[in-house]
Structure 1
Amino acid sequence: MVVTAHMDADEVHAVLAALTDAGCRAWIGGGWGVDALVGHQTRTHRDLDLAIAAEQEAAALSALGRLGYVVETDWRPVRVEVAADGRGRVDLHPLTFDEAGDGHQAGLDGGSFRWPKGCFTTGTIAGRRVDCISVNQQLLFHSGYEPRDVDRADLAWLHRLAARPAPGDERRP
């Protein structure tokens, strides 16, 4: 399948609504996750990266299928990417949650990535509140590889956000 569209904010909200209607919770990562933390769109996006509970993966894929998305890359249990021509791509990252609320994602090498409970936060896309991944977790995920231009742009925003004083912090930048 050749997917020619970029993911726009309306499509992000359509995907999130379909997942919510199917009883699936999703946290936005990647470029759209950075934009959610910033509070506005900073660049165009090829896809929408979502962390979901592994036990909701089938329901999520079914919901996305109703929107016209079909599996394009299947590296389960690590990730599965679906695409819809004219709409874009959604990259699902299934997490298994432990009793403490930490998420664990399988790695391609047989290991796993830890998503600490505190990394799940909220942001804003096109004026709507969304669940997303924290600045620190995004910085962690942007390490360990040679960044592309879009990654460098995301990292610049993340570093700006990380340098901001926390709410209630009396220090001035």
Structure 2
Amino acid sequence: MVRRSDLELVRYVVGRLEDAGVRAWVFGGWAAELLGLSAPRAHGDVDLLYPADDFGAVDGFLARGDVQEIEAKRFPHKRAFEVDGVMVELFLVQADEAGLFTDFWGVARHDWPADVFEVEAGGLRVASARAVTGYRAGWDELQAKLQGRRSG
């Protein structure tokens, strides 16, 4: 049975990751809700941002077998797993001389605002409002670049 995610589940997931040495920030629909950018609603997944050079710590967490990895979503920029039938996705946020970014298959780069990791809401680390709205605003352009990768 697939259930909707609730705030208790978000806290549980973030806590489990934290216990494994993985510091993640709530992103996506949950971040929008916690920041007051959208009204409360049902959520089908949990999106998280993970600032690191690579997924080494996350892969170690997944290798323990405590959660079910969604291997079809294992990419250079993303890892995913299920908790109680709810999908959790972690997006890798790296840093270089130009700032913070996520590299989608070497084809599309999304640059994050400098304040992306400076917010806390509801007792959770949450991506900043600029990060959430900026990602949403650039979604169509990102998809167009990725579509070009698939057809090229």
TM-score, normalization: structure 2?
A: 0.75
1:78 Cα offset (Å): 2.6
CA distance in 2, matches of 1:41, 1:11: 19
CA distance in 2, matches of 1:131, 1:11: 15
1:14 Cα offset (Å): 1.1
Find the counterpart in structure 2 of residue 19 from structure 1.
17
CA RMSD of aligned residues (A): 2.8
Write the letter of the residue equivalent to 1:20. E
Find the counterpart in structure 2 of residue 48 from structure 1.
46
CA distance in 1, matches of 2:12, 2:65: 11
CA deviation profile, 1:1-52 (whole Å, cap 9, x unmatched): xx61211111111111111112221111101111221299701111111110
The 5-angstrom pairing of residues 69-108 of structure 1 reads: 69-84=68-83, 86-98=84-96, 102-108=99-105
> Does structure 1 conserve the Cα–Cα contact (< 8 Å) formed by 2:32 and 2:38?
no
CA distance in 2, matches of 1:111, 1:62: 27
CA distance in 1, matches of 2:130, 2:103: 20
1:140 Cα offset (Å): 1.5
**1:29 equivalent in alignment to 2:27:** yes
1:66 Cα offset (Å): 4.7
Write the letter of the residue equivalent to 1:91. E
Write the letter of the residue equivalent to 1:50. L
> Does structure 2 conserve the Cα–Cα contact (< 8 Å) formed by 1:119 and 1:137?
yes
CA deviation profile, 1:129-173 (whole Å, cap 9, x unmatched): 111112122112112457xxxxxxxxxxxxxxxxxxxxxxxxxxx
Q: Secondary structure at the match of 1:32?
A: helix
Find the counterpart in structure 2 of residue 38 from structure 1.
36
The answer for unaligned runs of 5 or more in structure 2 is 141-152
Runs ≥4 in structure 1, deviation > 6 angstroms? none
Find the counterpart in structure 2 of residue 123 from structure 1.
120
Count of paired positions: 139
Write the letter of the residue equivalent to 1:34. A
Larger Rg: 1
Calculate percent identity across the aligned residue pairs.
Answer: 24
Find the counterpart in structure 2 of residue 165 from structure 1.
none
The 5-angstrom pairing of residues 141-160 of structure 1 reads: 141-144=135-138
TM-score, normalization: structure 1?
A: 0.67
CA deviation profile, 1:78-97 (whole Å, cap 9, x unmatched): 3232224x341111101112
Write the letter of the residue equivalent to 1:70. E
